């Protein structure tokens, strides 16, 4: 049975070259054609072997051509062997290009987590820059990537960052990714709890406000009672005009009656 020779994701450029290279090598190995990109195979002298060699060369070239975007075809169309095609693409995207190296170094140094960005998205961006840089200059020190990633976290992560930096042994990048994801989940849980507490405090404050209004209303309702109490106290006052109890002289009804008689 013929093996699959198609790639779902074609080579576009430097960003996906590393993944493309791995996948295309697997396909070539599966079809027993990897030798044609590892070294230049001389054409056999025997007719039968020569025919087989030619068919395999064409097949390897077809696999490579079908796995790249149409815009890259001009880069390999004039080349005669699969190895020449493979090497041309490698030089194009994996060559030690000083300008690209400087660009990637700048991106890694200045990478920052955006305000609306998740830890997963942020670490994926850092990882992609790291991988592209490794294609050009080899392995990038894990300590460098970890420190750069920590520096790119927002101020709200300051306590977490100090905890990581205080350790005797620096955390690996993959481990830091896990710990940051856990911290993000804890921070989200704390914010949710604070939100619930604020809602509860607001409800309590509202209830207290209503209680104060009711208390103020009660005091208002008590005023007529105190006024009534003062009225009742007049019953203990003796009128100087008629010497009777219950009113003052200026309100004495008997004095009015005497004025009428006179």
In a domain, 52, yes or no: yes
In a domain, 257, yes or no: no
Higher pLDDT, 139 or 113: 113
pLDDT above 90: residue 193? no
Q: Which of 171, 194, 219 is at the close of a domain? A: 171
What percent of the chain shows pLDDT beyond 90? 50
Shared domain for 102 and 89, answered yes or no, is no
Confidence of residue 227 (pLDDT cuts 50, 70, 90): very low
In the chain, the number of structural domains is 2
Number of H helices and E strands in the chain, helices first, is 11, 0
pLDDT above 70: residue 162? yes
Mean pLDDT (the chain) is: 82
Q: Which of 94, 119, 134 is at the close of a domain? A: 94
Q: Which of 67, 94, 121 is at the close of a domain? A: 94
DSSP for 157-222 reads GHHHHHHHHTSSSPPPHHHHHHHHHHHHHHHHHHHHHHHHHHHHHHHHHHHHHHHHHHHHHHHHHH
In a domain, 256, yes or no: no
In a domain, 106, yes or no: yes
In a domain, 190, yes or no: no
Position 1 scores a pLDDT of 41
In a domain, 240, yes or no: no
Domain that holds residue 102: 98-171
Position 81 scores a pLDDT of 94
Residue 97, SS3 per DSSP: coil
């Amino acid at each position: 049975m013929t093996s699959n020779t198609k790639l779902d994701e074609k080579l576009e450029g430097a960003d996906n070259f590393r993944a493309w290279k791995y996948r295309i090598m697997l396909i070539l190995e599966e079809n027993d054609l990897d030798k044609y990109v590892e070294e230049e195979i001389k054409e056999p002298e025997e007719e039968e072997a020569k025919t087989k060699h030619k068919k395999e060369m064409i097949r390897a070239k077809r696999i490579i051509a079908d796995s790249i975007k149409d815009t890259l075809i001009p880069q390999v169309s004039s080349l005669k062997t699969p190895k020449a095609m493979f090497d041309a693409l490698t030089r194009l995207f994996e060559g030690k290009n000083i300008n690209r190296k400087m660009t990637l170094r700048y991106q890694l140094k200045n990478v920052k987590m955006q305000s609306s960005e998740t830890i997963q998205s942020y670490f994926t961006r850092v990882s992609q820059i790291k991988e592209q840089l490794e294609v050009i200059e080899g392995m990038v020190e894990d300590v460098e990537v970890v420190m750069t990633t920590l520096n790119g976290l927002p101020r709200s992560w300051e306590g977490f960052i100090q905890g990581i930096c205080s350790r005797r042994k620096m955390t690996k990048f993959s481990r830091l990714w896990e710990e940051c994801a856990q911290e993000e989940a804890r921070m989200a849980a704390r914010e949710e709890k604070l939100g619930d507490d604020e809602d509860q405090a607001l409800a309590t404050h509202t209830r207290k406000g209503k209680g104060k209004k009711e208390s103020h209303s009660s005091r208002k309702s008590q005023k007529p009672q105190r006024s009534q109490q003062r009225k009742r106290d007049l019953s203990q006052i003796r009128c100087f005009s008629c010497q009777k109890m219950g009113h003052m002289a200026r309100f004495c009804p008997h004095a009015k009656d005497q004025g009428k008689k006179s």
